[in-house]
Copies of this chain bind each other. A is one copy, B any other.
C-alpha cells in the first residue's frame, strides 16, 4: 500500500481530468474503509475499532491524497475549473479537501483514543441505564467531554471552524483571559457543524427560543382542554406476524426497494448499510400498541428512500452522501409525519389495516373512520422519553438536550449537575417529574458515543420536513389525492430528484431549501403548521 506521492512538478503537468481520476481512486478506497466500521457485527472490541479508526484516518490524510488536493487548490486559485469538471465533480473536490483538512488537523493517536473511548463508554452507559445510576456513567461522560474539547482545540488551531474561533476570541476578550487560560466558548458551534454543515449556532438559538416560546403555551392549551381523543382501538393485543406483514406492505408501497435492502427487527430501530443497493433498516413492534410499529417503519422507510435514492453515478464519492443529519432526518419525518400522520394517508391505509386485522378481538377497529383514526394517531401527550414523543412535544426534548450539552461542553456546568438540570427543565418545559435517570438523562446513547451537537439536527429535520413538504405540495398537483389513493411514487420521485440525488451538491441544508422554496430554515413555518393542525384536532 506504500504509494509514493508524485512530486508537485509531476502533478502540475497533468490534466485536470487525470488529477480528478486519481482523486476518485483515493476517495473510493477511503469510502470503502469508512463503510466497514458500520458493517462490523456486535462484539467488535474497542482495540479493533481503535486500530481501524487509526488506519482510516491514515488513508484519509495520506500524502498522496494531500498532494492531489493541493494541486487542485493551486489550479482553482489560477482558473475556474467549471469548464473541465461538472458541478458534481467540483463538489467532490470541495468536500474531500474539507475532509482532508479536518483529518490532518487531528493526530492519529487522538482519533484512535476517541474510537476506543466511545466503545468503552457505550458499555458503561448501558449498564448505568439498566441500574438507573448516573454516577456509573459520569466518569465516562467526563472523559468524552475532555476528548471532544481536545478535538475542537486541534480543529481551531488548524484554522478550521472559523465561526467557532471568532466566538471564542470574542469571549476571551470580554472575559479578559490570558493566553493559556481555558475557555470553551464557541466549542458548541464547532461541534454542531460536524453534523449540520454550515449552520450557525446563533440561528439555532433563535429557532429554538421561538419554538420554546410558542410550543410551551400550545402544549398548555391542549392540556387545558382536558380532553383526549379515543385511541382504544389501537391498543390491545396485536399479532406480531400480522403487524410485520402490514408494515412490510406499507413500506414497500411507499417505495422501499426490497431488492436493494431489507427490513428487520431490532430493539433500537435504525437505518444503515454502506451502499444504495444494500440498505438495512430495522423497526420494532409492540404487542399492545399498533402505532409504534407503523410509524417507526414509515420513519425508517423515509431514511431508506434517501439512501436508496442517492446518486448512483457518483456512488462511494462524497457528493453522493447525504447533505447533513438534519436533511436526513427531514426525509424520515416527512414520511412519518407529513404523510403517515395525515388524513389522506389513512384514507388509503385504514382499509388495508382493517383487512389485515379481522380478529373478533379487534372488532372495534372495523367501524373506525379515517378521521377518528387520524385523531387517535395525533394525540399530544407529554412523556419522559424522546423517541416516543409526538411532534408537538418532541422539539422541547431537543431544546432541553441542546441547552444542557452546550453548557457542559462550554464549561458552564459540571457533569454532576446534569441530572438535576435535566429534571428541572423537564418540569419547566413539559411539566414532567423525572423520578429515575433511566427515564431522564440516561435515556439516550448519544453522549456515550461522543455525539455532542447531534441532537439539534432532529428538530432542524422536522422544520426542513415541513418546508420541503410544502414545496412538494406546490410542485405536485393534487398531492393529497395521490396519497389518498396510495400513489406514493409521485412524491417519492419528486424527493428523489430534489433531495436524494442532490446529495451533498449544495453547501448546506439552508442552500438546499432556499433553492427549493425561496426560504431558509424558518421555525415560524413549523410553529404555524403545528398550530393549525392541533387547533383543529383539539378544537382550541
Let me know if A280 is at the binding interface, CB within 8 A: yes
* A32 contacts B51, C-beta separation under 8 Å: yes
Instruction: Say whether chain A's binding surface is mostly helix, strand, loop, or mixed.
Output: helix
Q: Measured between alpha carbons, how far is A40 from B278 in the docked complex, in Å?
A: 14
Of B40, B50, B51, B57, which is within 8 A of A40 by CB?
A: B40
Task: Determine the chain B residues whose CB is within 8 A of the CB of A278 once the complex forms.
Answer: 43, 45
* B39 contacts A48, C-beta separation under 8 Å: yes
What size tier do the contact residues of chain A reach?
20 to 34
Minimum CB–CB distance from A424 to chain B (whole Å) comes to 41
Q: Measured between alpha carbons, how far is A41 from B41 in the docked complex, in Å?
A: 5
Let me know if A108 is at the binding interface, CB within 8 A: yes
Q: Measured between alpha carbons, how far is A37 from B35 in the docked complex, in Å?
A: 13
Minimum CB–CB distance from A348 to chain B (whole Å) comes to 32
Q: Measured between alpha carbons, how far is A514 from B441 in the docked complex, in Å?
A: 61
In the complex formed, the residue of B with least CB distance to A112 is: B1
Let me know if A36 is at the binding interface, CB within 8 A: yes
* A108 contacts B1, C-beta separation under 8 Å: yes
Q: Measured between alpha carbons, how far is A75 from B33 in the docked complex, in Å?
A: 38
Task: Determine the chain B residues whose CB is within 8 A of the CB of A28 once the complex forms.
Answer: 47
* A43 contacts B273, C-beta separation under 8 Å: yes
Task: Determine the chain B residues whose CB is within 8 A of the CB of A29 once the complex forms.
Answer: 51, 54
Q: Mark A3-36, 1 if CB is under 8 A from B, else 0.
A: 0000000000000000000000000110011011
Q: Measured between alpha carbons, how far is A44 from B108 in the docked complex, in Å?
A: 26
Task: Determine the chain B residues whose CB is within 8 A of the CB of A275 once the complex forms.
Answer: 45
* A1 contacts B48, C-beta separation under 8 Å: no
Q: Mark A246-285, 1 if CB is under 8 A from B, else 0.
A: 0000000000000000000000000001110010100000
Of B41, B52, B273, which is within 8 A of A33 by CB?
A: B52
Task: Determine the chain B residues whose CB is within 8 A of the CB of A83 once the complex forms.
Answer: none
* B33 contacts A51, C-beta separation under 8 Å: yes
* A57 contacts B273, C-beta separation under 8 Å: no
In the complex formed, the residue of B with least CB distance to A38 is: B41
- Are A55 and B1 also in contact (CB < 8 A) when A45-B32, A48-B36 are? yes
Complex A-B: 20 CB contacts under 8 Å: A1-B54, A1-B55, A1-B57, A1-B58, A32-B45, A32-B50, A33-B51, A35-B45, A35-B48, A36-B40, A36-B51, A36-B52, A39-B40, A39-B44, A40-B40, A41-B41, A43-B273, A43-B278, A45-B274, A45-B278
Interface residues of A (CB under 8 A from B): 1-2, 28-29, 32-33, 35-36, 39-41, 43-45, 47-48, 50-52, 54-55, 57-59, 63, 108, 273-275, 278, 280, 316
